Amino acid sequence: MKWEDHSSVDVGFQAAPVRSAEQGKLLRVCFSGNYGYGSAGNRDATYMDAMFRAADEVLHPEGVILDFSAMAYQWGDMLGKVLNVPDRWRALEEPPFAIVEGADCKGALRSLLVDDLDWDASSLDWIFEDVDQAREFVELRITKNANMFQLQLDRKRDEAALAFWKMLGEEIGPERCRSAACTRLRIKDSVLCRIHHFEQIQHSACPFS
Ligand SMILES: [Zn+2]
């Protein structure tokens, strides 16, 4: 079976390391050739989408650029499905995803997004004419999302620490804490005071007192 029998669009792939991180890949999918006019493009869309999803599944990149700069496109709403971000990024407000447009698809791509897919024309900041700019944009989003993820992790860790601290309860004694030189009383079901028990279990300095 030859793919060319099913679509006149060619699909190429490039993977590059993410510059801003120690690991992770950036996937660029390059489409070229002629996208069929209107519903004649449906087969092209199906083929393009399948190739893109396959590469995404195999590589599992940190960011994706869809490069349409060498593809001619006039109209056909099935192309919209190729523009969907991978499912794992659906919940992200700023998915690490950009597209590159070229002279032979420019107006039509934007018209598809705004007129058919209800995007606000002013929110299309993820469309570029220059692939380096698209890459910079995607890299920035990767960094932002990673920072946000780290913040969420930190917050969860802090919440868990506070819950643990609360659970330990008051220092009821009457015996003193067994940690050397500590003059506090022990908590219930422990030979240590609240702070020393916390630190022994959490393996970190107790932020509470
Ligand atoms: Zn103690």
Are 145 and 176 within one domain?
no
Q: Is 23 exposed, middle or buried (CB count within 10 Å of its CB: 0-12, 13-18, 19+)?
A: exposed
Does residue 68 fall inside a structural domain?
A: yes
Q: Is the dihedral of CA 102, 104, 105, 111 positive or negative?
A: positive
Are 139 and 182 within one domain?
no
pLDDT in tens, the chain (209 residues): 888 788 999 999 999 999 877 788 999 999 999 999 999 999 999 999 999 999 999 999 999 999 999 999 999 999 999 999 999 999 999 999 999 999 999 999 999 999 999 999 999 999 999 999 999 999 999 999 989 889 999 999 999 999 999 999 999 989 999 999 999 999 999 999 999 999 999 999 999 98
Distance CA 119, CA 28 (A): 23
Are 42 and 104 within one domain?
yes
Are 31 and 116 within one domain?
yes
Its domain, for residue 72, covers 3-152
Are 58 and 128 within one domain?
yes
Structural domain count, the chain:
2
Are 145 and 177 within one domain?
no
Ligand 1 centroid–CA 169 distance in Å is 14
Q: Give me the residues paired with residue 65 across strands.
A: 28, 98
Tell me what ipTM this predicted complex has.
0.99
The CATH number assigned to the domain holding 125 equals: 3.30.750.24
Cα torsion 114, 120, 121, 124 to 10°: value is -100
DSSP letter at 87 equals G
Ligand 1 centroid–CA 101 distance in Å is 65
Does residue 62 fall inside a structural domain?
A: yes
Does residue 164 fall inside a structural domain?
A: no
Does residue 77 fall inside a structural domain?
A: yes
Interhelix angle 194-202/131-168, nearest 10 degrees: 140
Distance CA 60, CA 76 (A): 28
Are 181 and 148 within one domain?
no
Ligand 1 centroid–CA 155 distance in Å is 27
Ligand 1 centroid–CA 174 distance in Å is 13
